[in-house]
Structure 1
C-alpha cells in the first residue's frame, strides 16, 4: 500500500483529476481529506450527489423496516438464550449453566466476522438475503433439543445467522441513504428495543404458564421433564417462526440490488448507474448521474485485483490483510478505527453484565422486595425492554442537531452512568422497575448512536470488515461476561457498579473520536 501511495505522489499532476478532487473537497464528505484514491473519492462524491438528488423514497422506507428486522433478531436471539437458560437447565441438569451465554456469543462472533468479511468480498446482497433464513431454521430446531449440548449447538448456529445482520443492515441502509437523512441510521436502532420487547413478551406469555417449578423455591415441586417444562421450547418455536416470516418478507417485499457504493468500489460503474436510475425511475425522481461522468473520473485502484481494496485472489488471507490495511490507510482513519473497536469492546462487557443477567438480578430483587411471582418478574422484564425502544428515537433526533453523533454518545453514556450508580439505592419494587426502565432507555441512546456512527466513518470498501470486527470485539466480551458471571454473584449490585465505571470511559472515548458525521456524507 505504501508503494501505491508513493507512486501516486510521483505521478505528474493531472489537471482534470485535480479539478475533480478540488470539487469533492468543497463538499462535506466525511473522509474527503483521508482518501488514498482520488478517483474513487471523486466517484463516491458523484454517487452521493445522485443519492441526494433522488432523495428519500419508499425504497429507503422499506429498507428501514426490513433492515430493522435484523436489529430486532439480533437482540431477540441474544435475550432469548438468557431467558430460557434457567428453565432448560432445570430439565437437563448441565455441569456448566452459563453454557448458553457462551454458545450464543460464539455464534454471533463467528457470524459477525464471516458475514462482515463476505460483505466486502462478494457484496452485501447475498448475506442480506440468507442470514435471517439461517437464523430462523436453527432457532426453530433449538426448541426440539434433547439435551443441553445439542441446545447449545443450535443456539450457536442460530446466532451465527443472526449475528451478521448488524454488520449488513447498517451498511446496506447507509449506502442508499441521502446525506440529510443519515440520522435515521441511529433511529433504526429502535428495532433493537423492539426485539428485546418481543423476547420479553414471549417470556411473559409462555414461561409462567408452561414451566416446571424450581425445586430451590419449592422443595415439594415435581422433577422438571419434557412434559411439564415446555415453556422455554415454545419461546424458541415462536421466535424462530417470527424470524422466518421476517426473512421471507426481506426477500419478497424488496428485491435488493447490490449497493451503489459497493459497485463503485468494485469498478462496476455501469451497474451502479443502472441501480440508481432504476430507483429514480420507479419513484419518479430526478437522477442526473451518467456512466460518462463516472468514466471521466478515471479507473479506481479499488476496481483492480492486487489493489488497495482487493488482493489478487479474493478468497485468501491476503484479501483479509488488504481490508485490514484499508482500515488504517491514514493516521486519522487508523485512530478512528482503533477507538471504535475499543468502544465496542467496552460496551460488549457492560451490556451483558447488565442486560443478559438482568433476569436473574430482577428475580433476586423481586424476592428481596417480597415478590416471587414469575408472572410479575417477566411482566417487568417486558416493560423494561419496551422502554429501550425509545432511547434510539431520542438519539436519532439528537444526532440531527449540532450535538452530532459524538456528543449524543457522550450525553447518553454519562446519563446511563448516573442511573447505574443510583440504581443500587432502590428500596421498593416500584423503584426497582422505574430505575431499570430509565437505564434501558438511556443505555440505548449511546448504543444506538454507536451502531450508526461505526459504518458512517468507515471507508466503504472496508466497511463490512471494520464493522464485523467491531461487533466481534463486542461478542468476545460477551463470552468473557459469562465467565465473570460464573465466579461472581450477579444477584448483587457489583455488576451495576462495573457498568457505571465502563460508561465513564465510553463517554471519554466518544469525545475524542476524530470524525463527526453531522452535516457530512459517508464515503
Structure 2
C-alpha cells in the first residue's frame, strides 16, 4: 500500500461522517487501496475510494451469485474449447489424412491469442458490456460449424474462429466480477476458477461418451465421415452447451456496465444509478450520491481524445506502469502467465498422448479406459480452485503464498509422476497433479485483475492471457518435434512450476489485505 490518505472531498456532513467512519474502520485493519492514484489522477483516486466504500456497504447480494455463475460460464466454455482440438485430433487426422498433424491446436491458440487482445483492449475503450453479451454466442456458432467441417483446412479455420470468440472470456469474466465485489468477498474470483474444471470435465465426459463408440477402429481400412462421427458429435454437443450458456447470460440478468468503468469515462450518473439499482432491488443501504462523485472533479488520465487511435492504446499500456512498483508487478504477472502458458499445454493438452502410451505399458489399450481416466483426471480440476479459495481468503497466506503452495505441490507431483509403474498409480498421480496445478492457476486468474487499475484492467489482463497463448503456440511447436509420450515434458513442466512459485513469492502486492481500484 503506497498511500492510504484520501484527498479532500467536500461531502454533506452526515454522509462525510459516515464515510470517514468506514474509512477509519478499513484503514485500522491495515487495509486500503492496492494502487495509489493520488499523484496521478486525484479525482479518480477519490471516486474509486467512494465507490469501493459503496460496494462494501451494499455487500454480497443475489446479483453477485448470478454473476458468479454467468461469468463462470465463460471460464467453462474457454476450458472446454481448449481441449476439443487435442482430444479429437487423432480422429480428425484419421479421416482427413493431413500432412501436418497439429493444425487444430495451433489454430486454436492463434484464435485465443487474437481474441484475448481484441476483447481485452476493446473492453477498456468501449466497455465491458458488449464483450460480456456476445462472446459466448460467437463461440457457440463457430464451434458447431467446426463440427461440420468438410476438410482439415476448414476444421483448423473454424477452430481459430471459435477460439477468437472464447478468447475474451478469461479477460472479461474476472474483470467484470471483480468490479462488483466487496473486498471481503474477492476470494470468490479464485473460487470461480472451479468453472474451468467444470468445462474440462464436460469436455472429458463428452469425449468419453462419443469417441470410443463412434470413431474409426483399427479394423477400418477406410476412415470416412460415416464411420467416424464421434469427433463431430463432440463439437456439436459442446457448441450446443455453449449456446445455452450464451442465452442464459443475456436472459438471467440485464448487464449494463461496471461502476468503475463508468468512473473512468466520467459517467458518474451511471455509476451511481447502477449501484442504487442493486441496493434498491436487494434492500441494501447506500449513502453514495452523484454530488459526492462530482465534487471530486473530472477524471483526465484514463482515455485519449480519440477512442479509436494509437494514443488511446498507448495510454492504456502506459497506465500499467504508472509507478515503479506497479510496473514491476505487471511484468512479473505477465511473466507468470507466459510460464504457465508453456507448462500447462505441454502437460495437460497433450496428456491424452502420454496417457495412451502409459496405458499401453500397463496393458490398457482400450479407448474406453483411456477416456474414462481422462474424464476422471479432468474432474479433479474442480477441487483445486475450491482449496485455493479457502487458502487465499486468509491474510496469512493470501493470494501470493497460495500460488507458492500450488506451484510447489505441482513440482513435487510432476516429478513423482515419472515414477509410476501401474495403472492405479498413473490415475492417482494424474489426479493429484490436476488439483495442484489448479490451485496455482485458479489463484493467478484472480490475482491478475486485482493488481491492475480499473481504467486499464482489461488491457493488462488481455495481454497476460495473450502472452499465455503465445507460449501455447510455442508448446505446440515443441510437441511437433518432441516426443510428448515420453517423460521429458513432465520434467520441464515441473521445473517451470518451481520458477512460478518463486516469482509468486516476489510479487509486490497482496490483494487479500488491500482493495483494488
Q: TM-score, normalised by structure 1?
A: 0.93
In the alignment, what sits opposite 2:162? 158
Which whole-Å CA distance do the structure 2 matches of 1:363 and 1:179 have between them? 45
1:296-445 superposed matches below 5 A: 296-301=295-300, 308-401=301-394, 402-445=396-439
Q: Return the offset for 1:300.
A: 1.7
Q: Deviations over 1:173-207 (max 9, x none)?
A: 00000110000000000000000100000000000
Q: Return the offset for 1:151.
A: 0.2
Q: Return the offset for 1:95.
A: 0.8
In the alignment, what sits opposite 1:221? 220
Which whole-Å CA distance do the structure 1 matches of 2:112 and 2:104 have between them? 12
Aligned partner of 2:95 among 88, 91, 95: 91
2:415 partner SS: helix
1:138-157 superposed matches below 5 A: 138-157=142-161
In the alignment, what sits opposite 2:117? 113
Q: Return the offset for 1:221.
A: 2.9
In the alignment, what sits opposite 2:214? 210
Aligned partner of 2:200 among 196, 201, 220: 196
In the alignment, what sits opposite 1:261? 260
In the alignment, what sits opposite 2:13? none
In the alignment, what sits opposite 2:240? 241
Q: Return the offset for 1:34.
A: 7.2
CA contact (8 A) 1:109 1:475 kept: yes
CA contact (8 A) 2:354 2:486 kept: yes
Q: Return the offset for 1:33.
A: 6.5
1:448 partner SS: helix
Q: Return the offset for 1:519.
A: 2.5
Q: Return the offset for 1:297.
A: 1.2
CA contact (8 A) 1:406 1:510 kept: yes
CA contact (8 A) 2:37 2:45 kept: no
CA contact (8 A) 1:212 1:222 kept: no
Q: Return the offset for 1:16.
A: 4.9
CA contact (8 A) 2:38 2:45 kept: no
2:295 partner SS: helix
Which whole-Å CA distance do the structure 1 matches of 2:312 and 2:8 have between them? 33
Q: Deviations over 1:36-92 (max 9, x none)?
A: 212111100000111111110010000000000000001100001101111000000
2:227 partner SS: coil
In the alignment, what sits opposite 1:450? 444
Please tell me whether residue 511 in structure 1 is matched to residue 515 in structure 2.
no
Tell me the number of residue pairs that the alignment of Structure 1 and Structure 2 aligns: 499
Q: Return the offset for 1:15.
A: 5.9
In the alignment, what sits opposite 2:137? 133
1:297 partner SS: coil
Please tell me whether residue 64 in structure 1 is matched to residue 63 in structure 2.
no
Q: Deviations over 1:433-472 (max 9, x none)?
A: 0000000000000000000000000000000000000000
Which whole-Å CA distance do the structure 1 matches of 2:445 and 2:255 have between them? 22
CA contact (8 A) 1:180 1:519 kept: no
Shift in alpha-carbon separation, 1:177–1:347, aligned structure 2, 3 A = same
In the alignment, what sits opposite 2:229? 230
